[in-house]
Structure 1
Amino acid sequence: MTQALLTHPQFEVDGPLPEGTTVLEASAGTGKTYTIAALATRYVAEGVTLPRLMLVTFGREATQELRERVRERLGATERGLASGVPSADPVTALLQRGAPEEVALRAARLRAALAQFDAATIATTHQFCQQMLAGLGVAGDSDPDAEFVEHTDDLVTEVVDDFYVRKYAAR
């Protein structure tokens, strides 16, 4: 039973598209950003509008890199589809297959995604949570003055100081 849980089919960016929520978890330098950009491009080319995709990562630097890589990938793939020149890139080669009208439609979807790129949800987990709470309005019962922080060192120091003062100041 344990062996069956540990075996996963080899993931390929030009294989079947994942359905539902997909979590990519891997060590640094293993191609997560490349894979996310490739999958986003494939979904968009196949008809999922960019605002319907949600790409979430951990740090601000990773989010900025992901935004840049997704934008670059959309553009490069669109140019590859428009050129008609066979591509060595597995995603572009996959999207080049099909009737000329279908390939042209994929290229048009990628162009449209580039035009509305700012509507894409590419955020840190904190930014995503803030967006969700803001979107809920009063139903979210959130403190509008609350602030999400990435590092809690200052908060921990403040709590410890408050605790110390409360516990020992009266003595």
Structure 2
Amino acid sequence: MRTSLRPLDPLRPEQRDASDPQALIWLSASAGTGKTHVLTARVLRLLLGGAAPETILCLTFTKAGAAEMAERIHRRLAHWAGLRDEDALKRDLTRLGEASDPEALARARRLFARVLDAPGGGLRIQTIHAFCQSLLAGFPAEAGLTPGFRPIEGREEAALARRTLAESQAERLDIADKAMVAAALGAVDQIGEG
């Protein structure tokens, strides 16, 4: 697989420190300041250091952030796997703060296949919500949930919100005919689905 990708941007000293897998860090910065670049570098350095892909978990706030990080990592690894220019690969590894000896170059070239072949789908890069949902799905009884539960989304969520609002208004207005309210709510739900 041959891919074209520009060289890694050099890491500033504080970014290199934050990307060091041996360091405990808390990374907080405004949008567009290079957080994804630093976190991507950190994952690449973890992999270069021998971490098993399936042991790496990256959590983001948004689906877009998770997708962006996964794409950057996979594109870089694919690029390294097909890169014929040894000097370019050495520059990338040096910019990460990693060794660029022949063994390191060979290891970098094998990482893409290692990630793709890893048990459980390899790297886990997901939102905090998706991670928590997977924990709840794995331990429903411990969380007090019915096994096989699923979160509500979209139309179902909107219908529940309308129903809850209508019920609270009915209680507030002390409407005696709860059956009439239930029928009206059913009609509202059907209209909302149409």
User: Normalised by the size of structure 1, how large is the TM-score?
Assistant: 0.71
Q: 1:45 aligns with which of 48, 52, 55?
A: 48
- Residue matched to 1:4: none
The aligned amino acid for 1:167 is: R
Q: Spell out the pairing of 1:22-101 with structure 2 (5 A cutoff).
A: 22-79=25-82, 83-86=85-88, 87-89=90-92, 94-98=97-101, 100-101=102-103
Q: Spell out the pairing of 1:114-129 with structure 2 (5 A cutoff).
A: 114-116=116-118, 118-129=121-132
CA deviation string 1:60-89 (max 9, x = no partner): 222222221121122234455x74215443
- 2:58 is paired with a residue whose SS is strand
Is residue 63–residue 122 contact of structure 1 (8 Å, CA) maintained in 2?
Answer: yes
Q: Compute the displacement of 1:41 (Å).
A: 0.8
- Residue matched to 2:169: 164
- Residue matched to 1:112: 114
Confirm whether residue 131 of structure 1 aligns to residue 134 of structure 2.
yes
Identical aligned residues as a percent: 23
- 1:170 is paired with a residue whose SS is coil
Q: Compute the displacement of 1:119 (Å).
A: 2.7
The aligned amino acid for 2:122 is: A
Q: Following the alignment from structure 1 to structure 2, what is the Cα–Cα distance between the partners of residues 58 and 16? A: 19
Is residue 61–residue 128 contact of structure 2 (8 Å, CA) maintained in 1?
Answer: yes
Structure 1: segments with no counterpart, 5+ residues:
1-9
Q: Compute the displacement of 1:50 (Å).
A: 1.2
Distance change in 2, residues 1:103/1:89 (3 Å): closer
Count of residues in Structure 1 that have an aligned counterpart in Structure 2:
159
Q: Compute the displacement of 1:20 (Å).
A: 7.4
Distance change in 2, residues 1:91/1:55 (3 Å): farther
Q: Following the alignment from structure 1 to structure 2, what is the Cα–Cα distance between the partners of residues 119 and 64? A: 15
The aligned amino acid for 2:50 is: G
Is residue 54–residue 121 contact of structure 1 (8 Å, CA) maintained in 2?
Answer: yes
